[in-house]
Structure 1
Amino acid sequence: MHSAVDVIRVKRDGGRLSDEQIDWVVDAYTRGQVADEQMASLAMAILLRGMTSEETARWTAAMVASGEVLALDSVRKPTVDKHSTGGVGDKITLPLTPLVAACGAAVPQLSGRGLGHTGGTLDKLESIPGWRAQLSDEEIRAQLDEVGAVVCAATEGLAPADRKLYALRDVTGTVESIPLIASSIMSKKIAEGVQSLVLDVKCGSGAFMKDLDRARELATALVDIGTASGLRTSALITDMSVPLGRAVGNALEVAEAVDVLRGGGPPDVVELTLALAREMLDHAGLSDVDPAEVLADGRAYDSWRRMIKAQGGDPEAELPRARHIDVVTAPEDGVLTELDAFAVGIAAWRLGAGRARKEDDVEHAAGVLCLAKPGDRVTAGQPLLELHTDRPETVPGAGEALQGAYEISGADRRSTPLILDRVAASS
């Protein structure tokens, strides 16, 4: 007979939880037999004492077992997904999903909403008139067969233990635990039923992981869990010290993603889209397909239009535009050497692009356009940033967030690579 107090004591004292203890405590918590305060105590013990890779894999499996697994066996193409740990201007899911589908894979992207300074994929897509996020399992499978690409909200039955524990970690100071972060991400992805997964682990000021060592630790934990569960898994660690692309905010990011799918767009967004596409296609057994060609010849854009239409959206409709635009200009001549991703994310959030609480609405037209990026030469008075909002009273708060967010120097900036590292399963 198990008890929550016994499980807490084992981890508090630095011990290893048995498979049976993990299975029991996750199941009992999901069913309400273990109280929130007891799970909060266990989460804090895990934060302070850590977990072995075996414990983390078992914890993840127990969270998957708390709900249903999306059955994708009937889908005729190889299934592969991508997950990003979140950043500023990270709209990569939007061009990547239809691109990989156009290359011959099936991509079920069960995505989330934004909270705080990081944007949510569903919020971005909901700026397209008519587009809907909620699909049934049957609709997801049908769309994967017909279009090859779907981006939608996770169904309620997937990993309910994670939903409950995630909310608890948020209010108990235990969000930073790498085993709990990794099991949270992977339980949802494994429950999707895909055959392979590529992770984009962000690193830098605008990311959850601020330094490379912590990002590498998280990437390794994620890949280990995926591999242990039979998923072909790898991770790219990518720079998030500067906003990705030029657009930060829902409709602004959709417009930029469409530019990429039409063969244009900012070089960093194109570079990361293609790098992740190659990784996904390799896992799916389609490494002979060149995603750059598929992007250039319009097939990826056609795939996007079919994906948006299948979910009720109008890909030709005009996107929401802000009623008020304020411009931040360069104070002097020189080279823009810094543009802090976190500060830009906070500014976009204050303008209305994000939410402080899960139940808040977002303004689809709000956000920041980065007219100059680090490495660009600028002159005094030249526009650096556009602040887009429907509520002009939000501009001073956004401007405050941008104080010290950018630097202009007489010297050229040393460029940093976008892709910092790759983590794959150890053989």
Structure 2
Amino acid sequence: MHDAISIITAKRDGRELSGAEIDWVIEAFTHGIVADEQMAALAMAVYFRGMTRAEVSRWTSAMVDSGSRMDFTWLDRPTVDKHSTGGVGDKITLPLAPLVAACGAAVPQLSGRGLGHTGGTLDKLEAVPGWRADLSRAEMAEILADPAVGAVVCAAGADLAPADRRLYALRDVTGTVESIPLIASSIMSKKIAEGTEALVLDVKVGAGAFMKDVADARELARTMVELGADEGVRTVALLTAMDAPLGRTAGNALEVREAVEVLAGGGPDDVVELTLALAREMLAAVGLDGVDPADRLRDGSAMDRWRSMIAAQGGDPAAPLPRARHTDVVLAEFDGVVDGIDAHGVGLAAWRLGAGRARAGESVQAAAGVELHVGLGDLVTVGTPLATLHTDTPEKFDYARRSLEPAFTGSAESARRARGVVIERIGPVER
């Protein structure tokens, strides 16, 4: 017989929890037997004491088993998903899902809404008139099986890893978010429960990312790759740069517009580079590496999938996207080469303009955000437009400028060497 206090004190004192103890505490927490304050105490003990490899694996499995698992084995094509740890201007899911579907895979993407910085993937797509995030499992299956679509981006149901949903809310208010075992098990429990055959992880590193340090990001990536292998999900991780924003936009409708540019064969180089890198990893993970996703951007088939995917979820792909009622241009105050654009500062400005939320459940402004006019290495003079702020609440301009203006730095000549978006590849682990 197990009890919460014994398990909390065991972890507090540095003892490895047994599989039976982990199974019991996750199930008891899910059903309200273990109180929130007790689980918060256990999370804090994990934060300080960590978890062994065996503990993290069992913890993840227990959270998966707290709810139901989805099953797509009946589809006539392989399934693969992508998860990003989040960054400023990270609109990659939008062009990536239809692109990979156009290459022959099915993409069941369960996403979320953002908290802080800009909105999440669902917030971005909800900027498209009529598009809806909440689908039944039957609707999701129908869209995935449709040979003209094959990709769906929607909200996760309440029955998918419910233990993680409750624990995540507690971690957010108890200072225990920054724990690699808890981060890895949270992400992977949802993705494993989703039932996809393969998973590609985009682990961001840098000023605008959750993980600021490459070593920490590498540890998180390796942990998640191993957890995927434990559950029979072929998992690969890419560490990608997030010192500067991805692309030229941070905001919801602004990022949708940029994603559509990529699907039309244009768009910023870094967004195209990362979209193609992730697409190639996703296709290789399910044995479709004979298809070049760049061809699907060139021939228009990825754009066709985008339109079908939006329409299948009630959206109008031809409808104009929302535009902010007010704009304000930020001008350069230096002569020289732009050698830094701090992603955190840009993300904070977008949030202050109304593109993100401070608390779960708050609404966001679809049209709010930051549009960049320069990139790293660009030559500017005093008065050159650096960025345009977009919002429906112009009283927020001054507040947003406080974080955005210092985000741009320049020098007489750039000492920054151009590097690709992808820093490192990790995995997969064979079992």
Q: 1:49 to 1:243 in 2, by over 3 A?
A: same
Amino acid at match of 1:81: D
TM-aligned CA deviation for residue 118 of structure 1: 4.3
Instruction: Please name the residue that 1:364 is paired with.
Output: 366
Verify the 8 A CA contact 1:87 1:119 in the aligned structure 2.
Answer: no
For each residue in 1:46-95, what CA deviation from the matched residue of structure 2 results, as whole angstroms up to 9, or x when unmatched? 11111112211110110010111112122211000000000000000000
Instruction: Please name the residue that 1:143 is paired with.
Output: 143
Equivalent position SS for 1:171: helix
For each residue in 1:209-228, what CA deviation from the matched residue of structure 2 results, as whole angstroms up to 9, or x when unmatched? 00100100110111010011
The CA distance in 1 between the partners of 2:51 and 2:75, in whole Å, is 36
Amino acid at match of 1:279: E
For each residue in 1:281-304, what CA deviation from the matched residue of structure 2 results, as whole angstroms up to 9, or x when unmatched? 001110000000111110000000
Matched, 1:419 2:422: yes
Deviant stretches of 4+, over 4 Å = none
The CA distance in 2 between the partners of 1:209 and 1:26, in whole Å, is 27
Alignment root-mean-square deviation, CA: 0.8
Instruction: Please name the residue that 2:294 is paired with.
Output: 292
| TM-score, scaled relative to structure 1 | 0.99
Q: How does 1:281-360 map to 2 (within 5 A)?
A: 281-360=283-362
Equivalent position SS for 2:406: coil
Equivalent position SS for 1:108: strand
For each residue in 1:111-167, what CA deviation from the matched residue of structure 2 results, as whole angstroms up to 9, or x when unmatched? 000110143000000000000100001111110010110000001110100010000
The CA distance in 2 between the partners of 1:419 and 1:263, in whole Å, is 21
Amino acid at match of 2:192: I
Percent identity over the alignment?
Answer: 65
The CA distance in 1 between the partners of 2:363 and 2:24, in whole Å, is 37
The CA distance in 2 between the partners of 1:132 and 1:70, in whole Å, is 20
Q: How does 1:134-283 map to 2 (within 5 A)?
A: 134-146=134-146, 147-283=149-285
Runs (5+) with no aligned partner, structure 1? none
Amino acid at match of 1:105: A
Amino acid at match of 1:386: T
The CA distance in 2 between the partners of 1:306 and 1:238, in whole Å, is 29
The CA distance in 2 between the partners of 1:160 and 1:249, in whole Å, is 29
Verify the 8 A CA contact 1:111 1:122 in the aligned structure 2.
Answer: yes
Amino acid at match of 1:80: V
Verify the 8 A CA contact 1:113 1:123 in the aligned structure 2.
Answer: yes
The CA distance in 2 between the partners of 1:152 and 1:322, in whole Å, is 25
Instruction: Please name the residue that 1:129 is paired with.
Output: 129
TM-aligned CA deviation for residue 383 of structure 1: 0.3
Q: How does 1:15-34 map to 2 (within 5 A)?
A: 15-34=15-34
Verify the 8 A CA contact 2:118 2:251 in the aligned structure 1.
Answer: no
Equivalent position SS for 1:353: coil
Verify the 8 A CA contact 1:246 1:369 in the aligned structure 2.
Answer: yes
